[in-house]
Each structure stands twice: as C-alpha cells, then as structure tokens.
Amino acid sequence: MIKIYTASSCHSCKKAKEFFKKEEIPYQEKNILVSELNEAELRDILSKTENGTEDIISTRSKIIKENHTDIDSMTISELIAFIRKNPSVLKRPIMVDDSKIQVGYNPEEIRVFIPHEKRVAEWSCRKADCPTYNKCK
C-alpha cells in the first residue's frame, strides 16, 4: 500500500492525491501536522532515501533557520526526535511504498507508482491503433 505523508495546506500534496485517485491507485494518507509520525515510519522513510536527510528535510524551514539547527550533526535517534517534535521541517508530500520513495510532486516521476501491468498496457495501446484506447487510459 502506498502511504502519502501530507499537510492540508500543501498544493503539491493535493496534486499527488488527485493523481492517485485518477489512476485508481489505493493509498493511505497521513497528515503529518495532525497525526504524529512514529519512529518506525520515520526510519522507513529515511531508509528509502538516496541522500538521507537532504531528500526529506527542508533546510529553508523557519525552525531550522531560526534555531541554527545542524541536522548533519544529529544521531539518527536525535533526528527522529527532532522531526517528531517539528514535523513541518519535512518536505511534502512524501510518498512511499514497499520499495520506493518520492518527495514532492513531479508529474513524470510519480508514474513509478502506477502498477507495472497498467504501464505496459498504456505503452502498447496507442490511440491510432487501439479500439479500446479510452479504457487503457
């Protein structure tokens, strides 16, 4: 199951949810500003990043700037505690499944969450030569 970590005022989060609804891909949403992230969720997110905190934390965040917070000097436990206390430092949306993560809404990259079978059908079914084209979309 795909999990989307969102905030209600986030425009990119709304676009991501619209994409999943349009593609009829089930997802579970968690508003990070309403429901506290648990340690397991944060460890899962961090384990899937390519560049660690750089991928998921906004260094332009007011909390980080005002407090001169040095994320790089924190241990994993300190980092998790910091994020749990200050979830607004996370970039949004964060979308994860069993093996992938995507941070932010990118209309091309989000397609990795479309099931393989559906992507193959879309590639092989073109309007000009497919009588059921509208059903493939």
What burial letters (b/e) apply to 26-55, b meaning 16+ CB within 10 Å?
Answer: ebeeeebeeeebeeebbeebbebbeeebeb
Contact call for residues 93 and 4 (beta carbons, < 8 A): yes
Catalytic pick from 10, 125, 130, 136?
A: 10
CA distance 31 to 20: 16
**136 is annotated as an active-site residue:** no
Active site residues: 10
